[in-house]
Amino acid sequence: MRPGVGPCRSLRGRASLAACAVLLLAGCAAHTAPASPAPAAVAATTTSAGPSPVRTIDPAALRAAVEATVRELMIPGAVVEVRTPQGDFTTAVGTTERATEVPPGTDTHVRIASITKTLTAAVVVQLGQEGKLRFDDPVSTYIQGVPDGDHITVAQLLTMRSGLYGYTNDPGFAATLDADPGKVWTPQEVLAIGFAHPPLFPPGAGYDYSNTNYALLGLIVEKVDGRPLAQAYRDRLLGPLGLAQSSLPASTDTSIPDPYSHGYMYGGSAYAMVDSEYPPDVQAAARAGTLQPTDYTHQNSSYATAAGGAISTADDLAAWIEALVGGEVFDADVQRRWLDSPQPAPGQPATAPQYGYGIERQTFTPGATMYFHFGEMPGYNLFAGHDPGNDITVVIWSNLTVGLDGRQTANALLITAVNQIYTLPQQAEPAAPPTTTR
């Protein structure tokens, strides 16, 4: 998953992944043609502080830009759902299954990879709100056998500052997935892989996007809440918010509810788990049509679970991120702490993407700050974000994990969409920062 997934690069959902995408946003504005006036365009708003950073959104221009990106990256199918005070704009293109013509929609189910982390973190924060755990509790209070567990706090797990090695980065992990895609994994098995490697840094001394953190948080939820993680999601979040199309499947369940999209990726799982680049011969064969992508739809996502195992739809993800950022999940005091939890990683400037309690925050341009999470796993790439200041929600999913040029497909579509939504500074494109772990 350059978690995300949800794991995330697969389980990249990663802040690293997010960082790469969002830091490029302003730079790419200079390369995107401005939306042309059209009768269907809806006027942007102004605020008492001055002109809104939100553009007049032209649905035709948005669709054309999304379609161009989909063609460029050879994505079989994708959905870009944008909700604004101007109206809702959805662009659904391509097909949910190669060699067929089954158009995707906002009700199409997909594996959401690391966006699952927003659910896991939300349950942990609710438990803190109820006094059932404290964010400064050491992990050893709940789980034994964690390296340096007496000094790693729950908050450091939430914010990716534990220093624990991410199990999805293990060189043999992707090979195991490819050899046995139906394998049923337990959290203890994936944690053992992570714990077999030395920590990357002392607790709190750095930042590294590690799915090991969220595998541990899932176990903490089950111990403190006294119920399976899937039930905690349903009882605390999905049920109260009416998100009936979202779920965490059982460890033995490889199905996806209808309607669903297949998920594709060229090559083995390593291209989603680590930053492996496609060699020139693979790129050439895929572009020539002699190499077809692998269908990862029915992989067993139990390797991800609390870090990236959930399933949802664009509509449910939009409703979820709006509720989460908008204050419907926590009480007012805890909501403020949650909103303030994203902070720059040690040694990073305030302008860098910031990872908090299962959420990232980035200011695209003055007056436009979005809370979001990416998700990536073999077969799928996603983004869900909400800008509360302008009441804008963006949800994206693609059924191709990574383009042949190495770009994560949801990142590329996000850049496309944001340049149609906001007026961004015209500047030279910055270099993409190195990605951290999934």
* DSSP track, 116-134: HHHHHHHHHHHHHHTTSS-
Q: Residue 364, CB half-sphere, CA atoms under 13 Å: how many?
A: 32
Instruction: Please give the structure tokens belonging to residue 81.
Output: 């759902």
Candidate from 140-144, 162-166, 350-354, 433-437 with smallest mean pLDDT: 433-437
146 sits in which H/E element: none
Closest C-alpha to 339, from 387, 374, 382, 410: 387
% of residues, the chain, pLDDT over 70: 86
pLDDT (average), residues 161-180 = 96
C-alpha span between 324 and 308 (Å, rounded): 18
C-alpha span between 371 and 354 (Å, rounded): 10
Closest C-alpha to 129, from 416, 279, 337: 337
pLDDT (average), residues 258-280 = 92
C-alpha span between 381 and 5 (Å, rounded): 9
C-alpha span between 389 and 370 (Å, rounded): 9
Kind of pairing between the strands at 264-265 and 50-51: unpaired
Three-state DSSP class for residue 77: strand
What is residue 413's DSSP assignment?
H
Backbone angles phi, psi at 362, to 5 degrees: -150, 135
Q: Does CATH place domain 15-421 in 3.30.70.3450?
A: no
The answer, yes or no, to whether residue 114 has pLDDT greater than 60, is yes
Asked if 388 and 326 count as a contact pair (C-beta separation under 8 A), the reply is yes
Contacts of 336 (CB under 8 A, 6+ apart): none
- For 293-348, the pLDDT digits (tens) are 999 999 999 999 999 999 999 999 999 999 999 999 999 999 999 999 999 988 88
Q: Residue 319, CB half-sphere, CA atoms under 13 Å: how many?
A: 17
C-alpha span between 350 and 345 (Å, rounded): 9
Contacts of 151 (CB under 8 A, 6+ apart): 138, 202, 203
pLDDT of the residue at 353: 75
Torsion of CA 226, 232, 237, 243, to 10 degrees: -160
- For 123-144, the pLDDT digits (tens) are 999 999 999 999 999 999 999 9
User: How big is the chain, counted in residues?
Assistant: 438
Three-state DSSP class for residue 361: strand
C-alpha span between 361 and 19 (Å, rounded): 10
- For 383-420, the pLDDT digits (tens) are 999 999 999 999 999 999 999 999 999 999 999 999 99
C-alpha span between 421 and 215 (Å, rounded): 35
Amino acid present at 5:
V
Torsion of CA 329, 345, 376, 60, to 10 degrees: 80
pLDDT of the residue at 350: 79
DSSP letter string over 157-197? HHTT-S-PPPGGGSTTHHHHHHH-TT----HHHHHHHHHTS
pLDDT (average), residues 214-241 = 98
What is residue 305's DSSP assignment?
G
Q: pTM value?
A: 0.90
Amino acid present at 228:
P
C-alpha span between 313 and 96 (Å, rounded): 13
| 138 Cα distance to chain centroid | 27
309 sits in which H/E element: none
pLDDT (average), residues 149-177 = 97
Contacts of 428 (CB under 8 A, 6+ apart): 27, 30
Candidate from 79-93, 154-168, 422-436 with smallest mean pLDDT: 422-436
Asked if 139 and 130 count as a contact pair (C-beta separation under 8 A), the reply is no
Three-state DSSP class for residue 252: coil
What is residue 150's DSSP assignment?
T
* 87 exposure class (CB count in 10 Å sphere: 0-12, 13-18, 19+): exposed
